[in-house]
Amino acid sequence: MSSRRLARRAGQASLLLALIVFLFPIAWLFATAYKRAGDIFAIPPVLTFTPSLRNFTTLFEFFDVPQLVLNSVIISFGTAGLALALGTPAAYALARLETRWAHTIAYGFLAIRMIPPVAILIPFYLMMRDVGLLGTYWALIILDAMQSTSFVVWMMFGYFRAVPKEIEEAAVVDGCTQWGTFIRVVLPCVVPGLIASALFCIIFAWNNFIFPSFLTNASTRPLSVAMISAYGSNEINWGTMGALAHFSVLPIVALALLLNRYFVQGLTRGVH
């Protein structure tokens, strides 16, 4: 074997090893859902087990799973919808306004993402308490959308600047209104950016824990908050946690794998 091929094999072997390190804990989490208590608490711990669906029965006994899923869906799609509605037009405006201010404001939106969440969460919590929104979906969506809008503006700013201005000019000459040009001519050019933005808004909101843990109550809490209580006592154990992960972790993992191209595009934005 040539040294070059040997090096390639060695590289692939290391990658495979890394892959095992990265995937084992996740595989373990999902596998736990199918273990009986006897297998979970075996001494010494075992990797093999007889599959059982007992944990899912327990899960549905102790948790209102459909309600939790519904809460997570309402919160993440509400956040994505609001953030895109606010952020996309703003990003377009910043990309097309020819002033130095536009760049400064775009960086301002980026800077918002760097604010430690707790610096806003504490006063925001008090504000929501005063207006009586604490515990509702709105409190959480409003705050999540704030973070997501800053992200959407920054991301879409790049996409809109890549759209040639001539396209819009042609549309205006053809008698299209400004709003019509934006909706019918410019937006279709940035669909990949919109998909990537929406994907990230959904992931942020779905996976967020600190905001919902203080802003929602027992009936509006999302899956991420419920997971913490799926752990600890005798009846509710790692098995229940693994079963709940099928609803809280799996959808996002599947979505990111399905939209892998957009996911990667969004994460590597700013490299080129």
Partner 1 sequence: MPGIRLGFTARRRLFLVMIGLPAVLYMVLVAFWPLSQGLAYSFTDYTLTRPGPVNWVGLENYADMFADPAAQRAIVNTFVFTLAAVGLQLLAGLGLALLLWPDSRFNRICLALMLIPITVTPLAVGLIFRAMLEPDFGILGYWARVWGLSPARGYLADENLALATLIVIDVWEWTPLVALILLAGLKSLPTDVLEAAEVDGASRFQRFHRIILPMLLPAIFLALVMRSMDAFKIYDSVFVTTGGGPDNATNVLMFHAAKIGLEFFQIGAASAISTFMLACVGLMSVSFVLMIRHAERRLGSR
Residues of span 104-133 touching partner 1 by CB under 8 A: 105, 108-109, 111-127
Residue 221 in tokens: 């809490």
State the number of binding residues for partner 1 (CB under 8 A): 91
Candidates 55-63, 158-166, 186-194, 203-211; binding stretch for partner 1 (CB under 8 A)? 203-211
Q: How far apart are the first and last CA of the chain?
A: 37
Decide if 36 contacts 221 (C-beta within 8 A).
no
Closer by beta carbon to partner 1, 11 or else 192: 11
Residue 108 in tokens: 């301002």
User: What CA–CA distance (Å, rounded) separates 119 from 209?
Assistant: 16
Q: Site for partner 1 (CB under 8 A): which residue of 73, 74, 133, 146?
A: 146
User: What CA–CA distance (Å, rounded) separates 68 from 223?
Assistant: 5
Closer by beta carbon to partner 1, 53 or else 210: 210
Closer by beta carbon to partner 1, 64 or else 165: 165
- CA atoms 262, 266, 271, 272: torsion sign: positive
Return the SS3 of 231: coil
Interacting positions 10-39 with partner 1 (CB under 8 A): 11-12, 14-16, 18-19, 21-23, 25-26, 28-29, 32
Q: Site for partner 1 (CB under 8 A): which residue of 47, 50, 131, 175?
A: 47
Question: To the nearest whole angstrom, how small is the minimum distance from the Cβ of residue 66 to partner 1?
Answer: 19
Name the residue with tokens 């919808």: 81
Closer by beta carbon to partner 1, 56 or else 134: 134
Q: x/- site string to partner 1, residues 204 to 243, per CB under 8 A?
A: --xx-xx---x--------xx--xx--x------x--x--
User: What CA–CA distance (Å, rounded) separates 251 from 74?
Assistant: 14
Candidates 54-62, 63-71, 73-81, 262-270; binding stretch for partner 1 (CB under 8 A)? 262-270
Alpha-helical segments (H) within 52-190? 54-62, 65-96, 100-112, 117-131, 137-161, 165-173, 178-180
Is position 158 an interface residue for partner 1 (rule: CB under 8 A)? no
